[in-house]
Structures are given as C-alpha cells and as structure tokens.
Amino acid sequence: MPWISEEKLNRLQEKFSFIKILDNPQAPVIEVPKENLIDFLKFLKEDPDYQFKMFIDWTVIDHGKKADPRFQGVLILMSPKSWERVIIKVWATDERLPSLITLWKGAKWAEREAWDMFGIKFDGHDNLVRMFLWETYPYHPLRKDFPVRGYEEVELPSLNETERFDQLEGTMNYSRKHTALPTLEDLEITQKARMPNKKSQMVLNWGPLHPGTHGTIWFLFDMEGEYIKDCDIIIGQLHRGVEKLAENLNVQQIIPYTDRMDYIAAINENHSVCIAAEKLLGIHEKIPEKAKYIRTMMAELSRINSHLLWLGTYALDLGALTMFLYTFREREKLMDIFEGITGARFTINYFRVGGVYADLPYGALDAIEHFIKDLPQRINEYETLLTRNRIWLKRNVDVCIIPEKDVYQYGLTGAVARASGVPYDLRKIDKYDAYGEVEFDIPVGEKGDSYDRYLVRMEEMRQSIRIVEQCIAKLRKFSKNDPFFYEPEDRRMKITIDGRGTKLKKGEVYAGADNPRGELGVYIYMPKDGIKPYRFRLRSGAFYNLQVFTKAIIGRPLADAITLLSTIDPVVGETDR
C-alpha cells in the first residue's frame, strides 16, 4: 500500500509538535490544528523530501449534532515523487475552515461541494457558491440531521396518475408531495451567482440539454467575439445523493448505486467500492485468485467498452459519423459478453466485496477470446480513419493544452493526467487485484493537448487487450471448483454475496481504482464496527477532471469547447453522483 512511510511521519512529528498522528490500522492519518494548517500544508507541498503536491480530495465529515466541534475536514494528498498518499484531518471549529485555493486550484470545486453538502464556510474562497444544488435551496443535505428522503414539501399529483379511475389505494401508493424543485427564478439566481463578474454583454449558455455535452452539463461562457474569456459550469442536474444513500445501506447494496454513476463503465465503479471496502476489512490480499483474475479481466473489458464509446462520440462531435457506427458495432459485442456473464448490459453489479457473485458461464472465455482476437485490427482501422487525417490533426493538435503542473493543481487523473506526461496510474501504484501480476505499459503523452489525450486512450485500449489476454491464459488454468468468493476464516467477520449482515470494521481508508474516467476513490470512515458506513465519500475523477475545463478553455475559440470536453470525457452520472 503506497502510504507515507513511518520514517517520514516521525520526522514530521519531530518538526511540527502540533500535529497528532492518529492510530488507524488501515492508513496513516495526521491531525492538524486549524491555525497551523496552511503552513503545514505548504511544507508538505514544497519540501523536496515530501513533495505532496498532488491534490486528491478535500471533503468533510459530519460527526453528528452532539459532537463539538461537529465537522471535520479531510484532505488526501499524493506525492508524485514517491507515489505515496497521506490523509490530513482538521477540525472545523465554528463551521469554518481555511480555504486551500491558494495552494491547490482544484480545491475550489471541492470547497464549493463541501459548502453545498455540509454548510461549511471556507475563509478565503473567491466565490463560495453551491456546487450541485441551486442557490436558493435551503438545506445542506449531507448533514446527519437531514433525512434520507428529504423534506417533502412541493405538491406533485402527477406522481399518482391513474387510468380509468383506478385508484392507487393502499401500501404501494406514492406520496403526493415531492422534495423541493427549482423554479426558473431559482435557476436565474443560480446562473448569476456562478458568474458574478461577467464582462461581455451576453453570457453564452451551452446545455444543460445539448447533445454535445454528453449529458446534462450546463456551461456558461463569457465570450469576446469567438474567444472564451471566462467559463463556469453548472452541474447537479443529475445529482441523486449517492453518498447520502450509501450511509443507509450495507456495502453490497451500495454497489448497484455506483452502476448508475459512471454508467458507461459500471464495472470499474463497482471495482472501486469493492477495493475500498476490502482494504478497510483487511481482506483485499486474501480474495481468491480466480476472482482477482476475473475482476481484472472484466475491468479491462469495461475500459475498452468505455473508450469505444468515447471514441465514437468524440469523432461524431468533430464530424466523423462513420466512426460512431464502427465503434458501436464492437461495443455491441462487448455488451453481449457482459450480459451473458453478469446478467445486465449496462448496470452490471457483478463484483462483490469479497469476489464476484457468480463464476463465468460456459463459453465465456471463448467469447472474450473471439472478441479480443479481432479487436486490434479494428483499432488499426479506426486509426487509419482518424490519426493522420488532416482534419483530425487540425482540430486536435495543440488544442487546449493542459500542462503538467495543472495535473497536480487540479488533481487530474486517468488519461487526462497521463496525456500531460504524469504516469499516474493506480493499477501500477496500488497493484490491486491481479494488476501486479500482469504486464502492461502506461501510455504517457508529452504536451497535454487534445491529440495526446486521444493517442493515450487509443494506446490504453491496446494495453487493455494485452491484459485481457494474459488474464484469459491464467484463468484457463484454474479448476471449475476454485472459489470465486472469499470465505472469512475469522468467525466475527461476516461477508455475504447478497449483502445481508455484511459488516464493516472500525477505521478509515481511502482506496480506489483507475477508471476510464480517472480515479474513482472511495473514502470510508467508520467510528465503530457496523453495517452501514458512517461517511462514504466518492471522489469522482470525472468531477475533478471537468474542473480543469474552466481553465483550459480560456482564450480558445468556442469550437474547441467540443474537442476539450470530448477529450476530458466526463460522464455526468459520476460528476454529479
């Protein structure tokens, strides 16, 4: 596990007497007083020995109404020098925390989210508005005293539509009341608050329902002629409160909800939750080998699936319709494979904390092999159509460059980080599941322009094929009776395939998987053993990657917005959660 080493921790303790190193078996946690936070972080970020300069996540825990202080900030940092992580906690006295935007620009959205969800004020933030909900929404929903169902206060009788006087009497009836909904005025206030100092006469609105935005993202562009001078993004139209829901479910029941986050790569989302929960329980190394290889293989197939969709829609947005039809043909086969193995084409829910829910059906490996054999040639075809086509080059080369330092500043992950020259890949760093035992390369770009992001993803597909081939070869050697689900030796531990009674352990952990859209990290905080996670934070890669859009687009013509959005490739289910 790549966590900050003991020796480095001790040196920190010697240097800063005010920090407290908490006793947590899963990961090292440092508690820092609020007054000293900025100085301490500056040291961590800039000291040549430490260099924890990569921003990963910045969120809040609510300890309940009775606790004093009630809220606690949690910061997760990564050191690109040694690929080590650290968790830093700080108490938010008076419901206030210092803002980190002077140190990491990526903290801007993280703090807005914390304000939106918990009502924590950040001193020094330049425009602390809500992230997902509209500006006039009165509550902070992730607070522990906010009910899961929300406050039902608006009447919506259409919920109970009936046919021919057929009354929906009895238990299955829907309540006529609905939780608050934004009106047009609310949206107008929200839009104004997001861009308080616009310069031009008119702000160009792109979205929320525009085919080019690949979902419900609402862009605001402050234009000067063709060129974009300022930009902000309103997301949240797909916000369903997965983190809140997760606090009321057992961990196996959370997995189907993550299917609905990044619905294009549902398997990878499931994977993150499984890894985090397994690391919290300390059983990740003990998962049966067969399950590890099945999971690795499925995760890579899912990556190919996701990249195929990305390639098709990306080319479609830039005007190459044929590509879309070709990639969807291959994707259809992958969907068939998923359907046969897992039971669903899209919302897969196949992985479990402890393995997978069923063994491979008859013929599964043959179907995958058949598909994989064909694919490299297909990818070559795609490349002939695009890679050296002059229109493609004109629209992509040197468009919207994301420099390496922005990767650290904004906490970019996935293909976006790798295209900017940072070989950040959790599959190599954490070596979860069977990734430590298979061979593959990390494609790394040079400039960080849209073309590099395209090339990196194309190469990733080829590397995924390599991994899948190795997994198949390995899986063939297993016996049909080998277990695919972990049976705990410890009698106090209970893990079930259907989730009933699955218990989590006391402690806190941050773990994740490298998903097609960046790192989906899961931070679980458990003050005591229990079934339901106390705090279940989902660190969305797509969310942080989308944030860099607001910077990389500045000074570019409007047409590049499509290219940039497609190469960042966010999916709204995951950015909004």
Partner 1 sequence: MGIKKVGLNRNIKPQSLAEKVFFLDFMKGLKTTIKHLFRKVITVDFPYEVVEPAPRFRGVHGLRNVDGTEKNDFNAWVKKLKIKPPEKGETRCIACKFCQAACPVPEIFVIKAEKLDVPKDHPHHGLKVLTQFDMDLGKCMFCGLCTLACPTICIIHTDIYDISTYTRRGWILNKEQLSQIADDFIARRGKEKYDEKSEWPDYQKIWNDADTARAKAWDNNPPQFGPNYADQN
Contact segment (CB under 8 A) with partner 1 among 4-12, 178-186, 300-308, 344-352 equals 344-352
Rank residues 1 and 204 by Cβ distance to partner 1 and give the closer one: 1
Scan residues 421-440 and list those touching partner 1 (CB under 8 A): 423, 428, 439-440
Do residues 38 and 97 lie in contact, with contact meaning Cβ atoms separated by under 8 Å?
Answer: no
Task: Specify the residue, 475 or 564, whose C-beta has the smaller distance to partner 1.
Answer: 475
> Quick one: which of 476, 270, 467 has its CA closest to 375?
467
Exactly one of 180, 189, 204, 442 binds partner 1 (CB under 8 A); that residue is 442
66 binds partner 1 (CB under 8 A): no
Amino acid, single-letter form, for residue 108: K
Q: Which residue number, 476 or 528, has a Cβ lying nearer to partner 1?
A: 476
Residue 204: CB minimum distance to partner 1, A:
31
Q: Please choose, out of 10-18, 46-54, 307-315, 455-463, the segment that lies near partner 1 by the rule CB under 8 A.
A: 455-463
Provide the 10 A C-beta neighbour count for residue 314. Answer: 27
Task: Tell me if 336 contacts partner 1 by CB under 8 A.
Answer: yes
Q: For residue 448, count CB atoms less than 10 angstroms from its CB and return exposed for 0-12, middle for 13-18, buried for 19 or more.
A: buried
**What's the chain's Rg over C-alpha atoms?**
24
Q: In the complex, what is the shortest distance from the CB of residue 336 to partner 1, in angstroms, rounded to a whole number?
A: 7
Q: Find the part of the chain contacting partner 1 (CB under 8 A) among 27-35, 199-207, 377-385, 550-558.
A: 377-385
337 scored as a contact of partner 1 (CB under 8 A): yes
Alpha-carbon distance 56 to 5, whole Å?
18
**SS3 for 78?**
strand
367 lies in the binding site for partner 1 (CB under 8 A): yes
Q: How far apart are CA 369 and CA 308, in angstroms?
A: 18
Torsion sign over Cα 500, 501, 502, 508: positive
Query: Which phi and psi angles does 519 have, rounded to 5°?
Result: -80, 120
Residue 253 touches partner 1, criterion: CB under 8 A = yes
Segment 483 to 542, residues that bind partner 1, using CB under 8 A: 497-500
What are the Cα distances from residue 132, in Å, to 26, 241, 244? Answer: 31, 10, 14
Tell me the number of residues near partner 1 by CB under 8 A.
86
Pull the structure tokens for residue 559. Answer: 């047409």
Give the nearer residue to partner 1 in terms of CB position, either 140 or 457. 457
Nearer to partner 1 (CB atom), residue 30 or residue 386: 386
- According to the binding rule CB under 8 A, does residue 456 interact with partner 1? yes
* Per-position x/- string for 139-178, each x denoting binding to partner 1 as judged by CB under 8 A, each - no binding: --------------------xxxxx--x-x--xx-x----
Rounded distance between C-alpha atoms, residue 92 and residue 18, angstroms: 16
Contact letters for partner 1, residues 196-225 (x by CB under 8 A): ------------------------------
C-alpha distances in angstroms, 469 versus 2, 439, 456, 481? 28, 10, 20, 22
AA letter at 256? P
Of 75-94, binders to partner 1 (CB under 8 A) are: none
